[in-house]
Amino acid sequence: MSLNSNLARKVEVEIPLQSPSNVPEQSTGMVHRSISKKSLATRVEKMLMGIIMAIAFTLIAVSISLEINIASTNRALQDTKVSILNTTTINSNLQQEVQELSRYDRIYRFANKQGLKMNEANVRNVVK
């Protein structure tokens, strides 16, 4: 068999055995404590992240709710302003119509049609 072959070869290597006395001693309780501390920190961090996420979600929900409330209030305010403007316009038109209908010459013509005569002795002037 040639040395340039691509096939794997089995090579025997001796691995020295280590005695258990050379391995540094670690107490098993210490390992458990470090793992539990690590887990506890992770649990606390997860709990804090959950609380922060819940607070953030609550703030976002409250913010959206307030924005909706403000928008609906603004819409109601605009509707009220339009209603007031329409009522003001109607009142102005009616006031103008009252002024036109209460002109002296119109009232005098209406009285003549009804057969009423002007009697100066029965007329009283009212001053405001």
Is the pLDDT at 31 greater than 90? The verdict is no
Is the pLDDT score of 58 beyond 70?
yes
Per-residue model confidence (pLDDT) at position 69: 97
- The Cα-based distances of 40 to 11, 29, 35, 82, 104 in angstroms read 48, 16, 8, 63, 97
1 pLDDT higher than 90:
no
Three-class SS state of 62: helix
Number of Cβ within a 10 Å radius of residue 54: 10
What is the predicted pLDDT for the residue at 43?
Answer: 86
Alpha-carbon Rg for the chain, nearest whole angstrom, is: 51
Residue 107: name the closest of 122, 94, 96, 118 by CA.
Answer: 118
What's 22's DSSP letter?
T
Polymer length of the chain: 128
CA atoms of 35 and 43, how far apart (whole Å) = 12
Mean pLDDT in residue range 8-35: 59
pLDDT in tens, 62-95: 999 999 999 999 999 999 999 999 999 999 999 9
Q: How many CA atoms lie within 13 A of 121 on its CB side?
A: 0
Whose tokens are 């887990």? That residue is 39
pLDDT recorded at residue 20: 56
| Span 91-128, pLDDT tens digits | 999 999 999 988 888 888 888 898 888 777 777 778 87
User: Whole-prediction pTM value?
Assistant: 0.48
pLDDT in the model for residue 57: 98
Asked whether residue 32 carries a pLDDT value surpassing 80, the answer given is no
Please name the residue ranges forming H helices in 2-122: 28-101, 104-113
